[in-house]
Amino acid sequence: MSLSLNHFSVRTLDLDATRRFYEVVLGLTVGPRPPFPFPGLWMYRGDHGDYANAAVHIIGMDPDDPEGLKKYLGDRDPSSLKGTGAVDHVAFFATGLAGMVEHLQALQIEIRQRTVPSIGLHQIFLDDPNGVVIELNYPAAEAAALGV
């Protein structure tokens, strides 16, 4: 069996803030999404013509019309939507550490950094507007060049 991560989904009461985070912070773009019976967005990294590039699916919870979502994906208590629950974090490989650190500082986004020398990886952790922890993994050589 071949297995690779296709996407992750975030349920949110604030579709706009979540969209802005993934656009502004990670550079993802809104692309095509099937006509599901609930609000939402698919955020792409790359060509919008390939659904495999829709790395983040944002699921909007409409408190005034929850039935479509309930029927399609099941009910979820809005109070359970903070943080990552049993999932600790979602990680992406990335390049361009210096630019990203500068970008996050300009946006005043708090980050946590560490290097895992044994595997040559430098990690940045940050939280999306829903408290989902995002990990960005860079080659440790990029961190060393910055003196981090």
User: What are 65-122's pLDDT values in tens digits?
Assistant: 878 887 877 877 777 777 777 677 999 999 999 999 999 999 999 999 999 888 999 9
Please report the pLDDT score of residue 14 as a whole number.
92
Q: How far apart are CA 82 and CA 68, in angstroms?
A: 22
Burial 95-117 (b: 16+ CB within 10 A, else e): eebeebbeebeeeeeeeeeeeee
- Please give the model's pTM, rounded to 2 decimal places: 0.83
User: What are 133-142's pLDDT values in tens digits?
Assistant: 999 999 999 9
Torsion sign across C-alpha atoms 104, 21, 113, 3: negative
Could you tell me the domains of the chain?
8-78 (no CATH), 90-146 (3.10.180.10)
Q: How far apart are CA 139 and CA 148, in angstroms?
A: 12
Give 99's contacts (C-beta < 8 A, 6+ positions apart).
none
Strands 112-116 and 121-127, by their bridges, are antiparallel
Tell me how far CA of residue 140 lies from CA of 25, 91, 102, 137, in angstroms. 21, 16, 17, 9
